[in-house]
Amino acid sequence: MRWETLNDKSTYNRWLKRVQLLKTWQLVILLLIGLIVSATLLRLNNLGMVERRTAVITADEKGDEAELREAITELQRYTSRHMNTDLENGFFLSKSYERDRDEALAAAGSDSNPNSSVYQQASIDCRSRFQGGRESFRNDYVQCVVERVGAMSPQADAETTLNLPKADAYRVNFSSPVWSPDLAGIAVAFCILVTGVIIGRLLLVLWLRFLVRRHYRSI
């Protein structure tokens, strides 16, 4: 359509009627349906992440390293391909960390460790703080040993001397994409498209009505 045909009042009215054939309420209903479907699919994505995160925690508790690696890989693959699956602050593989830490402490007291005498003395000094139970061992005994080894070997880092694992290496955290081309992503894109059509329709109607009124004023 050439621009000069818009100088005709009938052209304005004809285009205005065509645009108004598509009712706003119809678009709003489509948008509401799309929002419901989007919310449902996004929720399913999140539940899929929770299921896989639980599998990682279960494998961590069992101590099966092969199963744990496979579960972590599956969790990473899923979160990277689906929106609304972000792990927020992540989670900690506490059982794996405790197992590796206990192995490191056991190795620190072995005769093959040149610093075993330092560890053994720290262990004796801190034994009174261990009240029994996992929490006391982690929060009281281990922390005391680290502090005592550091005090007796100020020239070296205590955790390095004991060869303790780094806690940050046991934190699992993956981020999800802002948008993904799965069913949830398609539903979200549909809602955005319908919203754009609603806004575009309203702006086009206002513009055509403005042209009609201006044409009448020019008569």
Q: How far apart are CA 153 and CA 23, in angstroms?
A: 79
- Candidates 170, 182, 174, 137; CA nearest to 45 is 182
Q: Note the pLDDT of residue 135.
A: 66
Q: How far apart are CA 121 and CA 125, in angstroms?
A: 6
Q: Note the pLDDT of residue 19.
A: 56
Q: Note the pLDDT of residue 20.
A: 61
The whole-number mean pLDDT for each consecutive block of 10 residues of the chain, a chain of 219 residues, reads 49 60 82 97 98 97 95 97 94 93 81 68 78 66 82 69 85 95 96 92 77 63
State pTM to two decimals.
0.77
Q: What is the CA radius of gyration of the chain?
A: 33
Q: Note the pLDDT of residue 105.
A: 83
Q: Note the pLDDT of residue 112.
A: 59
Q: In whole angstroms, what separates CA 134 from the centre of its chain?
A: 30
Q: Note the pLDDT of residue 13.
A: 59
Burial 74-84, CB ≥16 within 10 A → b, else e: ebeebbeebbb
Q: How far is CA 151 from CA 102, 111, 141, 162, in A?
A: 21, 21, 15, 13
